[in-house]
Structure formats: structure tokens, C-alpha cells
Amino acid sequence: MTLTLLDWRRRVGALYAAARSATDPESGWRTWRDGRDELFATHPDSPLDPAARQAFRGLPFAPYDPALRFDAVLEPAPAQRLEMPTAEDGVVPLDRIGTVSLGERGPLDVWWLGGYGGGVFLPLRDGSAGTTTYGGGRYLLDTVKGADLGSDGDRLVVDLNFAYHPSCTYDPRWSCPLAPEGDRIPAVVQAGEQLPPGGWY
């Protein structure tokens, strides 16, 4: 680990802070998207290798859909603990803290990611996984790493337009917890980061 990785995390946190404080959700999403593209193109800890950065022209995203933003109540759910093995961090515990509803798409489990400090973790594996999005799923929230769209009392902002691929999608040196069973839905979510249509950069 290096101070450049610390810088990456600070910048990611700043992008989410800008999204939370934007006058409207779509403009916040555009700021976040532009910043994510800049990090991928220029940052030393980009998950793209130097050759891929040279060819990089931006991450593909579905158009913003305001209907896919939820001010979701965190509903109670039976306690469950998962232990997720990772290549670098050993076994990472996940404790279910509740569920959020995505309307007709169904509920998703919300997890507390163990480790020092901890944080809220909300992955998603939808019907697009393995075709237009990464087979292991995408992330909606990962507050340990600054991916946080806000909360108020028992509510979490869950915006499917912010669904993003974890770094392991682009570089196998990163290890990423994948979406557990309670975060898998059959419906295709036509929102968020997509795989490059012509393959990897």
C-alpha cells in the first residue's frame, strides 16, 4: 500500500461528497462520472495498466434514469454473517444489518463490512451480469472506500445509476467481495457502469 492509494481514496470520497451536495442527483452523477474517468485515465492506482490507459476514452455508462434512485428504508432482517475470502485481506466478515427495497426489482441485503472501522456494503448482481456488466456484480455502496450517497435516520440513498464495477473487473491483482445470494436479482438493471462493448481497453 502507498500514499497514492490514500490519494485515490480521498478523491473517491470527494466525488461522492460532491454528488451528495449537488443541486440535483443527475448533475451529481455527472460530476462523479467525470471524476471516475479522470482517475482511471491518470491516477497511479488506476486499475487500468499503462497500455490500457493510453487507449482509454471513458467508462461506458447507461443514461441517467431518475426512476432508479431510491430513498430506501433499511428494513430489519434476520442476522447473518458471511466470511468472504480475499487474496490480500484474508477473510473479511460481512454482517447483514437489514434490507432495502428496489420496488418491483425486489429487496437487497445490506451488510456491515468488518475490519477496522467497518462500513456499509451494498453490492448488486443483476440480470446483466456476465453480458453487459461484470459477472461477479457491481457495487452500489462501499462506505469504507468512500462510496456513500448519504443516509438519514433509517434511510439510505440507493441510486442504481451509481452502480460501478469493482477494481478486480479490470485487474486481477485486486480482490473484491462479490455479491452474496441476497444481493442477486434476476431483473436486468439498465443503469450504471457497463462493460466496454469491444472488450477490455
* Secondary structure string (H, E, C) spanning 90-159: EEEEEEEEEEEECHHHCEEEEEEECCCCCEEEEEEECCCECCCECCCCEEEEEHHHCECCCEECCEEEEE
pLDDT at residue 59, as a whole number: 95
pLDDT at residue 1, as a whole number: 62
pLDDT in tens, the chain (201 residues): 679 989 999 999 999 999 999 999 999 999 999 999 999 999 999 999 888 898 899 999 999 999 999 999 999 999 999 998 765 666 889 999 999 999 899 899 999 998 778 899 999 999 999 999 999 999 999 999 899 999 999 999 999 999 999 988 887 777 778 899 999 999 999 999 999 876 654
Q: Is residue 191 part of a domain?
A: no
C-alpha cell at 71: 430513498
Whole-number Å distance between alpha carbons of 77 and 3: 38
Q: Is residue 60 part of a domain?
A: yes
Radius of gyration of the chain (CA): 16
Q: Is residue 55 part of a domain?
A: yes
- The whole model's pTM is what? 0.93
Q: Is residue 194 part of a domain?
A: no
C-alpha cell at 27: 448533475
Largest CA distance in the chain: 48
Beta bridge partner(s), residue 22: none
Please state the domain count of the chain: 1
Whole-number Å distance between alpha carbons of 53 and 201: 8
Q: Is residue 200 part of a domain?
A: no
Dihedral angle, C-alpha 65, 178, 110, 98, nearest 10 ° = 130
Whole-number Å distance between alpha carbons of 146 and 70: 19
Tell me which residue range forms the domain holding 61.
3-183
Q: Is residue 189 part of a domain?
A: no
Whole-number Å distance between alpha carbons of 131 and 137: 11
Which residue matches cell numbers 441510486? 159
pLDDT at residue 89, as a whole number: 62
Q: Is residue 95 part of a domain?
A: yes
Q: Is residue 137 part of a domain?
A: yes
